[in-house]
Amino acid sequence: MMLGDLGAEVIKIENPKGGDDTRAWGPPFAENKDATDKQRPESAYFLCVNRNKKSVTVNMKTEGGRQIIYDLVKHCDVLVENYLPGKLASMKLGYEDLIKINPRLIYASITGYGQDGPYADKPGYDVIIEAEAGLMHITGEPDGKPVKVGVAITDLTTGLYAQSSILAALIKRGITGRGQRIDCSLLESQVASLANIASNYLIGGKEAQRMGTSHPSIVPYQVMPTRDSFVMIGAGNDGQFAKLCQRMGMEHLLQDTRFKTNVDRVRHRVELIQALEDRLTQEDSSYWLEQLNGGGFPFAPINNIQQTFEHPQLMARGLVQEVEHERAGKIKLVGPPVKFSDFKPTIRLPPPVLGAHTNEILTDVLGYTQESVRSLRDNGAIGE
Protein backbone atom coordinates (compact mmCIF):
# COMPACT_ATOMS: atom_id res chain seq x y z
CA MET A 1 0.00 0.00 0.00
CA MET A 2 2.78 2.41 0.88
CA LEU A 3 4.52 1.78 -2.43
CA GLY A 4 1.18 2.29 -4.16
CA ASP A 5 0.76 5.62 -2.35
CA LEU A 6 4.14 6.66 -3.79
CA GLY A 7 2.94 5.94 -7.32
CA ALA A 8 3.74 2.27 -7.92
CA GLU A 9 1.28 0.19 -9.91
CA VAL A 10 0.50 -2.66 -7.51
CA ILE A 11 -1.06 -5.90 -8.73
CA LYS A 12 -2.49 -7.97 -5.88
CA ILE A 13 -2.57 -11.69 -6.70
CA GLU A 14 -5.48 -13.39 -4.90
CA ASN A 15 -6.88 -16.89 -4.64
CA PRO A 16 -9.99 -17.09 -6.86
CA LYS A 17 -11.84 -18.81 -3.99
CA GLY A 18 -12.40 -16.00 -1.50
CA GLY A 19 -9.27 -13.96 -2.09
CA ASP A 20 -7.32 -12.30 0.70
CA ASP A 21 -8.40 -13.79 4.05
CA THR A 22 -8.87 -10.31 5.52
CA ARG A 23 -11.81 -9.70 3.18
CA ALA A 24 -13.81 -11.81 5.65
CA TRP A 25 -12.29 -10.41 8.87
CA GLY A 26 -15.25 -8.68 10.47
CA PRO A 27 -17.45 -7.18 11.65
CA PRO A 28 -17.40 -4.34 10.99
CA PHE A 29 -18.13 -4.47 7.27
CA ALA A 30 -18.85 -1.66 4.80
CA GLU A 31 -22.44 -2.23 3.81
CA ASN A 32 -23.16 -2.65 0.09
CA LYS A 33 -24.64 0.52 -1.37
CA ASP A 34 -27.02 -1.53 -3.52
CA ALA A 35 -29.61 -3.23 -1.33
CA THR A 36 -30.03 -5.94 -3.97
CA ASP A 37 -26.32 -6.82 -3.83
CA LYS A 38 -26.28 -10.00 -1.75
CA GLN A 39 -22.54 -10.64 -2.00
CA ARG A 40 -20.53 -10.50 1.20
CA PRO A 41 -19.60 -6.86 1.92
CA GLU A 42 -15.97 -5.85 2.29
CA SER A 43 -14.50 -5.81 5.79
CA ALA A 44 -13.19 -2.59 7.27
CA TYR A 45 -9.98 -4.52 7.95
CA PHE A 46 -9.41 -5.25 4.24
CA LEU A 47 -10.40 -1.75 3.16
CA CYS A 48 -7.81 -0.10 5.42
CA VAL A 49 -4.71 -1.47 3.66
CA ASN A 50 -5.66 -2.29 0.07
CA ARG A 51 -6.03 1.04 -1.66
CA ASN A 52 -4.01 1.74 -4.82
CA LYS A 53 -3.98 -1.94 -5.78
CA LYS A 54 -5.41 -3.93 -8.67
CA SER A 55 -6.86 -7.36 -7.85
CA VAL A 56 -6.11 -10.29 -10.14
CA THR A 57 -7.32 -13.79 -9.25
CA VAL A 58 -4.84 -16.58 -10.02
CA ASN A 59 -4.79 -20.24 -9.03
CA MET A 60 -1.03 -20.75 -8.84
CA LYS A 61 -1.45 -24.51 -8.47
CA THR A 62 -2.47 -24.72 -12.13
CA GLU A 63 -0.11 -24.57 -15.08
CA GLY A 64 -2.04 -21.68 -16.56
CA GLY A 65 -1.90 -19.78 -13.26
CA ARG A 66 1.85 -20.19 -12.94
CA GLN A 67 2.29 -19.01 -16.50
CA ILE A 68 0.42 -15.81 -15.62
CA ILE A 69 2.94 -15.20 -12.83
CA TYR A 70 5.84 -15.88 -15.22
CA ASP A 71 4.40 -13.41 -17.72
CA LEU A 72 3.85 -10.78 -15.03
CA VAL A 73 7.45 -11.18 -13.84
CA LYS A 74 8.65 -10.18 -17.32
CA HIS A 75 6.87 -6.83 -16.86
CA CYS A 76 7.26 -6.14 -13.13
CA ASP A 77 10.02 -4.59 -11.04
CA VAL A 78 9.18 -6.09 -7.64
CA LEU A 79 7.52 -9.25 -6.32
CA VAL A 80 6.40 -9.32 -2.68
CA GLU A 81 5.41 -12.63 -1.08
CA ASN A 82 4.75 -13.93 2.43
CA TYR A 83 4.68 -17.71 2.07
CA LEU A 84 6.64 -20.08 4.31
CA PRO A 85 10.23 -20.53 3.07
CA GLY A 86 10.40 -22.97 0.18
CA LYS A 87 6.67 -22.99 -0.55
CA LEU A 88 6.83 -20.93 -3.74
CA ALA A 89 10.02 -22.70 -4.82
CA SER A 90 8.11 -25.99 -4.64
CA MET A 91 5.66 -24.48 -7.14
CA LYS A 92 8.53 -23.32 -9.38
CA LEU A 93 7.88 -19.72 -8.36
CA GLY A 94 10.90 -19.23 -6.11
CA TYR A 95 13.57 -16.57 -6.44
CA GLU A 96 15.95 -18.76 -8.44
CA ASP A 97 13.12 -19.65 -10.84
CA LEU A 98 11.99 -16.10 -11.46
CA ILE A 99 15.34 -14.33 -11.86
CA LYS A 100 15.94 -16.57 -14.87
CA ILE A 101 12.93 -14.84 -16.43
CA ASN A 102 13.82 -11.34 -15.21
CA PRO A 103 17.31 -10.80 -13.71
CA ARG A 104 16.26 -7.27 -12.70
CA LEU A 105 13.47 -8.56 -10.44
CA ILE A 106 13.50 -7.55 -6.79
CA TYR A 107 12.00 -10.49 -4.90
CA ALA A 108 10.93 -9.50 -1.38
CA SER A 109 10.06 -12.32 1.00
CA ILE A 110 8.32 -11.49 4.27
CA THR A 111 8.16 -14.33 6.80
CA GLY A 112 7.82 -14.84 10.52
CA TYR A 113 11.39 -15.95 11.20
CA GLY A 114 13.44 -15.53 8.02
CA GLN A 115 14.56 -17.83 5.21
CA ASP A 116 16.96 -19.94 7.29
CA GLY A 117 17.70 -20.92 10.86
CA PRO A 118 15.99 -23.45 13.17
CA TYR A 119 12.67 -21.55 13.25
CA ALA A 120 12.45 -20.79 9.52
CA ASP A 121 9.60 -23.26 8.93
CA LYS A 122 7.41 -21.88 11.71
CA PRO A 123 4.46 -19.67 10.69
CA GLY A 124 4.68 -16.17 12.08
CA TYR A 125 1.84 -13.99 13.33
CA ASP A 126 2.02 -10.52 14.81
CA VAL A 127 0.84 -11.39 18.32
CA ILE A 128 3.05 -14.49 18.46
CA ILE A 129 6.13 -12.47 17.57
CA GLU A 130 5.13 -9.74 20.06
CA ALA A 131 5.32 -12.44 22.72
CA GLU A 132 8.45 -14.15 21.42
CA ALA A 133 10.50 -11.07 20.60
CA GLY A 134 10.19 -9.24 23.92
CA LEU A 135 7.56 -6.63 23.12
CA MET A 136 4.79 -8.24 25.16
CA HIS A 137 7.14 -8.64 28.12
CA ILE A 138 7.58 -4.86 28.34
CA THR A 139 3.97 -3.88 27.57
CA GLY A 140 1.44 -3.53 30.39
CA GLU A 141 1.32 -2.34 33.98
CA PRO A 142 4.11 -3.38 36.36
CA ASP A 143 1.81 -5.55 38.48
CA GLY A 144 -0.31 -6.79 35.56
CA LYS A 145 0.00 -9.52 32.97
CA PRO A 146 1.75 -9.04 29.60
CA VAL A 147 -0.50 -7.45 26.97
CA LYS A 148 -0.25 -6.89 23.24
CA VAL A 149 -0.06 -3.48 21.64
CA GLY A 150 -3.47 -2.18 20.52
CA VAL A 151 -2.69 -2.66 16.80
CA ALA A 152 -0.61 -5.27 14.92
CA ILE A 153 2.50 -3.19 15.42
CA THR A 154 4.95 -5.97 14.47
CA ASP A 155 3.23 -6.40 11.10
CA LEU A 156 3.28 -2.65 10.55
CA THR A 157 6.94 -2.30 11.54
CA THR A 158 7.92 -5.17 9.25
CA GLY A 159 6.01 -3.53 6.41
CA LEU A 160 7.98 -0.34 6.93
CA TYR A 161 11.29 -2.23 6.90
CA ALA A 162 10.21 -4.10 3.77
CA GLN A 163 9.20 -0.88 2.01
CA SER A 164 12.51 0.87 2.69
CA SER A 165 14.44 -2.26 1.69
CA ILE A 166 12.59 -2.48 -1.62
CA LEU A 167 13.27 1.19 -2.35
CA ALA A 168 16.96 0.68 -1.50
CA ALA A 169 17.10 -2.36 -3.80
CA LEU A 170 15.56 -0.31 -6.62
CA ILE A 171 18.26 2.33 -6.18
CA LYS A 172 20.95 -0.36 -6.14
CA ARG A 173 19.51 -1.88 -9.30
CA GLY A 174 19.82 1.50 -10.97
CA ILE A 175 23.57 1.21 -10.38
CA THR A 176 24.19 -2.50 -11.07
CA GLY A 177 21.31 -3.35 -13.39
CA ARG A 178 20.58 -6.42 -11.26
CA GLY A 179 17.73 -7.26 -8.91
CA GLN A 180 18.11 -9.16 -5.66
CA ARG A 181 16.38 -11.15 -2.93
CA ILE A 182 15.12 -9.36 0.18
CA ASP A 183 14.70 -11.52 3.30
CA CYS A 184 12.53 -9.64 5.81
CA SER A 185 11.19 -11.24 8.99
CA LEU A 186 8.73 -10.28 11.70
CA LEU A 187 11.10 -11.54 14.40
CA GLU A 188 14.09 -9.45 13.39
CA SER A 189 12.01 -6.38 12.61
CA GLN A 190 10.45 -6.55 16.07
CA VAL A 191 13.77 -7.02 17.86
CA ALA A 192 15.23 -4.11 15.86
CA SER A 193 12.28 -2.03 17.09
CA LEU A 194 13.09 -2.64 20.76
CA ALA A 195 15.35 0.43 20.40
CA ASN A 196 16.73 1.63 23.75
CA ILE A 197 15.31 -1.41 25.58
CA ALA A 198 17.56 -3.62 23.45
CA SER A 199 20.52 -1.31 23.99
CA ASN A 200 19.93 -1.24 27.75
CA TYR A 201 20.29 -5.02 27.78
CA LEU A 202 23.11 -5.42 25.25
CA ILE A 203 25.27 -2.62 26.68
CA GLY A 204 24.15 -2.31 30.28
CA GLY A 205 23.04 -5.88 30.97
CA LYS A 206 19.71 -4.51 32.23
CA GLU A 207 16.67 -6.77 31.92
CA ALA A 208 13.51 -4.83 31.05
CA GLN A 209 10.29 -4.81 33.05
CA ARG A 210 6.76 -3.69 32.34
CA MET A 211 6.43 -0.05 33.32
CA GLY A 212 2.95 0.89 32.13
CA THR A 213 3.24 4.23 30.36
CA SER A 214 6.34 5.39 32.24
CA HIS A 215 9.82 5.63 30.74
CA PRO A 216 12.80 3.70 32.10
CA SER A 217 15.22 6.61 31.65
CA ILE A 218 13.11 9.78 31.94
CA VAL A 219 10.98 11.04 34.87
CA PRO A 220 8.29 12.36 34.74
CA TYR A 221 7.26 10.88 31.42
CA GLN A 222 3.97 8.97 31.75
CA VAL A 223 0.19 9.00 32.02
CA MET A 224 -1.03 10.38 35.33
CA PRO A 225 -4.51 10.61 36.82
CA THR A 226 -6.51 13.80 37.22
CA ARG A 227 -9.70 14.22 39.24
CA ASP A 228 -11.89 12.89 36.41
CA SER A 229 -9.58 11.06 33.94
CA PHE A 230 -5.93 11.06 32.82
CA VAL A 231 -3.32 13.19 31.06
CA MET A 232 0.03 12.32 29.50
CA ILE A 233 2.88 14.52 30.71
CA GLY A 234 6.52 14.47 29.68
CA ALA A 235 9.56 16.39 30.90
CA GLY A 236 12.50 15.28 28.80
CA ASN A 237 15.11 17.51 30.42
CA ASP A 238 15.72 19.63 33.50
CA GLY A 239 14.45 22.80 31.87
CA GLN A 240 11.13 21.20 30.96
CA PHE A 241 10.78 19.82 34.48
CA ALA A 242 11.21 23.34 35.90
CA LYS A 243 8.52 24.69 33.59
CA LEU A 244 6.17 21.86 34.54
CA CYS A 245 6.62 22.58 38.24
CA GLN A 246 5.93 26.27 37.66
CA ARG A 247 2.72 25.57 35.72
CA MET A 248 1.54 23.16 38.41
CA GLY A 249 2.36 25.56 41.26
CA MET A 250 4.93 23.15 42.65
CA GLU A 251 8.08 25.27 42.50
CA HIS A 252 9.18 23.82 45.85
CA LEU A 253 10.11 20.59 44.04
CA LEU A 254 12.90 22.48 42.27
CA GLN A 255 14.65 23.01 45.61
CA ASP A 256 14.48 19.34 46.53
CA THR A 257 17.84 17.65 45.89
CA ARG A 258 16.06 14.36 45.13
CA PHE A 259 14.67 15.91 41.94
CA LYS A 260 17.51 18.20 40.90
CA THR A 261 18.48 16.33 37.71
CA ASN A 262 16.86 13.66 35.60
CA VAL A 263 19.22 11.07 37.09
CA ASP A 264 17.98 12.11 40.53
CA ARG A 265 14.38 11.98 39.41
CA VAL A 266 14.80 8.47 37.97
CA ARG A 267 16.35 7.37 41.27
CA HIS A 268 13.45 8.88 43.24
CA ARG A 269 10.73 8.09 40.72
CA VAL A 270 8.15 6.83 43.23
CA GLU A 271 8.26 9.89 45.49
CA LEU A 272 8.13 12.39 42.62
CA ILE A 273 5.26 10.72 40.77
CA GLN A 274 3.26 10.48 43.98
CA ALA A 275 3.73 14.22 44.63
CA LEU A 276 2.68 15.14 41.08
CA GLU A 277 -0.36 12.85 41.18
CA ASP A 278 -1.48 14.28 44.51
CA ARG A 279 -1.63 17.70 42.86
CA LEU A 280 -3.11 16.56 39.53
CA THR A 281 -6.02 14.74 41.18
CA GLN A 282 -7.18 17.99 42.77
CA GLU A 283 -8.47 19.25 39.38
CA ASP A 284 -10.22 17.87 36.28
CA SER A 285 -8.37 17.13 33.03
CA SER A 286 -9.96 20.14 31.33
CA TYR A 287 -8.37 22.42 33.94
CA TRP A 288 -4.93 20.90 33.48
CA LEU A 289 -5.07 20.91 29.69
CA GLU A 290 -5.69 24.65 29.82
CA GLN A 291 -3.21 25.28 32.62
CA LEU A 292 -0.37 23.38 30.96
CA ASN A 293 -0.96 24.77 27.46
CA GLY A 294 2.00 26.77 26.17
CA GLY A 295 4.20 25.73 29.07
CA GLY A 296 7.12 24.62 26.93
CA PHE A 297 6.94 20.90 27.64
CA PRO A 298 4.97 18.05 26.04
CA PHE A 299 1.58 16.94 27.35
CA ALA A 300 -1.61 15.55 25.86
CA PRO A 301 -5.09 14.27 26.66
CA ILE A 302 -5.82 10.55 26.31
CA ASN A 303 -8.08 10.72 23.25
CA ASN A 304 -10.40 7.95 22.15
CA ILE A 305 -10.63 7.15 18.43
CA GLN A 306 -13.51 9.57 17.79
CA GLN A 307 -11.58 12.38 19.45
CA THR A 308 -8.51 11.42 17.44
CA PHE A 309 -10.30 11.83 14.12
CA GLU A 310 -11.85 15.09 15.31
CA HIS A 311 -8.40 16.43 16.21
CA PRO A 312 -8.11 19.90 14.66
CA GLN A 313 -4.54 19.30 13.50
CA LEU A 314 -5.46 16.12 11.62
CA MET A 315 -8.45 17.85 10.07
CA ALA A 316 -6.31 20.78 8.99
CA ARG A 317 -3.75 18.43 7.43
CA GLY A 318 -6.40 16.50 5.48
CA LEU A 319 -5.25 13.04 6.54
CA VAL A 320 -8.65 11.39 6.13
CA GLN A 321 -9.75 11.03 2.52
CA GLU A 322 -13.03 9.89 0.99
CA VAL A 323 -13.10 7.57 -2.02
CA GLU A 324 -15.82 5.88 -4.05
CA HIS A 325 -15.84 2.10 -3.68
CA GLU A 326 -17.46 -0.03 -6.37
CA ARG A 327 -19.81 -1.80 -3.99
CA ALA A 328 -19.65 0.10 -0.69
CA GLY A 329 -20.08 3.58 -2.12
CA LYS A 330 -18.28 6.44 -0.39
CA ILE A 331 -15.84 5.26 2.27
CA LYS A 332 -13.34 7.16 4.40
CA LEU A 333 -9.72 6.04 4.63
CA VAL A 334 -6.63 7.24 6.44
CA GLY A 335 -4.59 8.70 3.61
CA PRO A 336 -0.82 8.88 3.07
CA PRO A 337 0.70 10.43 6.22
CA VAL A 338 3.79 12.05 4.66
CA LYS A 339 3.75 15.31 2.74
CA PHE A 340 6.19 15.96 -0.13
CA SER A 341 7.10 19.35 -1.57
CA ASP A 342 7.32 18.12 -5.16
CA PHE A 343 4.39 15.72 -5.52
CA LYS A 344 1.32 14.59 -3.64
CA PRO A 345 0.77 10.93 -2.77
CA THR A 346 -2.87 10.18 -3.49
CA ILE A 347 -5.46 7.43 -3.29
CA ARG A 348 -5.79 6.82 -7.01
CA LEU A 349 -7.69 3.55 -6.68
CA PRO A 350 -10.14 2.41 -4.00
CA PRO A 351 -9.58 -1.02 -2.43
CA PRO A 352 -10.48 -3.48 -5.21
CA VAL A 353 -13.33 -5.93 -5.41
CA LEU A 354 -11.97 -9.47 -5.75
CA GLY A 355 -10.66 -10.04 -9.29
CA ALA A 356 -11.80 -6.62 -10.50
CA HIS A 357 -8.72 -6.16 -12.68
CA THR A 358 -8.07 -9.70 -13.90
CA ASN A 359 -9.26 -9.06 -17.46
CA GLU A 360 -7.53 -5.67 -17.63
CA ILE A 361 -4.12 -6.99 -16.58
CA LEU A 362 -4.28 -10.13 -18.71
CA THR A 363 -5.37 -8.37 -21.87
CA ASP A 364 -3.95 -4.84 -21.63
CA VAL A 365 -0.66 -5.62 -19.86
CA LEU A 366 0.12 -9.19 -20.87
CA GLY A 367 -1.56 -9.15 -24.27
CA TYR A 368 -3.73 -12.23 -23.74
CA THR A 369 -6.63 -12.64 -26.14
CA GLN A 370 -10.19 -12.85 -24.89
CA GLU A 371 -10.23 -16.44 -26.03
CA SER A 372 -7.15 -17.19 -23.88
CA VAL A 373 -8.77 -15.53 -20.88
CA ARG A 374 -11.92 -17.62 -21.32
CA SER A 375 -9.83 -20.77 -21.56
CA LEU A 376 -7.96 -19.88 -18.35
CA ARG A 377 -11.25 -19.26 -16.60
CA ASP A 378 -12.73 -22.55 -17.84
CA ASN A 379 -9.65 -24.41 -16.60
CA GLY A 380 -9.79 -22.82 -13.14
CA ALA A 381 -6.56 -20.85 -13.52
CA ILE A 382 -8.37 -17.57 -12.80
CA GLY A 383 -11.60 -16.61 -11.06
CA GLU A 384 -14.97 -15.76 -12.55
Active-site residue set: 155
* Rounded to 5°, angle at Cα 221 from 317 and 249: 100
> Rounded to whole angstroms, how far apart are CA atoms 301 and 231?
5
Residue 268: Cβ within 10 Å count:
17
55 contacts 358 by C-beta, under 8 angstroms: yes
Residue type, position 376, single letter = L
Q: How far is CA 316 from the centre of its chain?
A: 23
Are 49 and 372 in contact by the 8 Å Cβ rule? The answer is no
What CA–CA distance (Å, rounded) separates 42 from 28? 9
| Continuous segment of H or E residues that includes residue 232 | strand 230-234
Q: Mention every residue, 6+ apart, whose C-beta is less than 8 A from residue 356.
A: 54, 55, 326
